[in-house]
Amino acid sequence: RKEVEQDPGPFNVPEGATVAFNCTYSNSASQSFFWYRQDCRKEPKLLMSVYSSGNEDGRFTAQLNRASQYISLLIRDSKLSDSATYLCVVSLSSNDYKLSFGAGTTVTVRA
Amino acid sequence: EAQVTQNPRYLITVTGKKLTVTCSQNMNHEYMSWYRQDPGLGLRQIYYSMNVEVTDKGDVPEGYKVSRKEKRNFPLILESPSPNQTSLYFCASRGWTGGAESNQPQHFGDGTRLSIL
């Protein structure tokens, strides 16, 4: 079983729509969680960290559910520029340098 | 400008011909790492280094070597490349400030697209 699993999508949504997707992780000891964004096989870039209480950054909301071992990302009022692959990243602890990446969820926002 | 620089960006070579992909960062980061990315598999960690002269295997180290003689550089060495090492490679670095929720994000290089024929 993969350490981090994501629905690959693609999620095709119209501009202005809300899109949400999850990522599950297998190691219950995981401590740090992130969402990264990757455009067209370019380098991944941090979108946001995911905190225990959940957090919001503009149109993006991340949630953590430790009981069910998943994190989620919700994008409100989708823009064309949100089209990308979103990578879920998990590490075992704050000082664990081994990060596990999901294969990514592709989102395509159409006009 | 803070950055991670990989070279070369693209390389086509043949089986068995030793190659090195360089990685350099200018942020004085302790931690550096190499990943490969293949369709459907996501990024998989090859090797990482927590500081100078400290390296450790990631999830897919077979066929690769690394060294960390200086803090800024972390080259990836393929002693005898094979076609199954054809992939997109990323180098990354990260600083460390302590605490579970102050874990700094990784900065990635632009990637090296490697084709082994």
What's the helix, strand, coil split of chain A in %, to 5? 5, 55, 45
Residue A91 has what pLDDT?
A: 85
| Band (B100; pLDDT cuts 50, 70, 90) | very low
Give the Cα separation of B43 and A42 in Å (integer).
12
> Which residue pairs from A59-68 have beta carbons closer than 8 angstroms and sit at least 24 positions apart in sequence?
A60/A35, A62/A33, A62/A35, A64/A33, A66/A28, A68/A24
Out of B15-29, B41-55, B93-107, give the one with best mean pLDDT.
B15-29
> Which residues of chain A register pLDDT less than 50?
none
Contact between B100 and A87 using a beta-carbon 8 Å cutoff: no
CA distance A16 to chain B (A): 28
Compute the average pLDDT of residues B55-83. 96
Identify the pLDDT of residue B1. Answer: 80
| Distances in whole angstroms, Cα of residue B5 to Cα of each of B86, B102, B109 | 20, 25, 5
pLDDT of residue B104: 67
pLDDT at residue B101 in the model:
45
Confidence bin at B98 (pLDDT 50/70/90):
low
Share of chain B above pLDDT 90, in %: 78
What is the predicted pLDDT for the residue at A98?
75
Using the beta-carbon criterion (under 8 Å), do A102 and B48 form an inter-chain contact? no
Quick check: B99 pLDDT over 60? Answer: no
Q: Is the peptide bond before B8 cis (omega within 30 degrees of 0)?
A: yes
Whether chain B has a CB inside 8 Å of the CB on A98: the answer is yes
pLDDT at A4: 92
Nearest residue, CB atoms, B103 vs list A87, A94, A103: A94
Q: What is the pLDDT of residues A76-105, one digit of tens each?
A: 999 999 999 999 999 876 556 678 899 999
Residue B73 DSSP symbol = B
Contact A91 B111 (CB under 8 A): no
Question: 3-state class of A82 per DSSP?
Answer: helix
CB contacts of B90 in chain A (<8 Å) are 43-44
pLDDT for the residue B74: 98
pLDDT of residue B56: 92
Mean pLDDT, chain B, whole residue set: 91
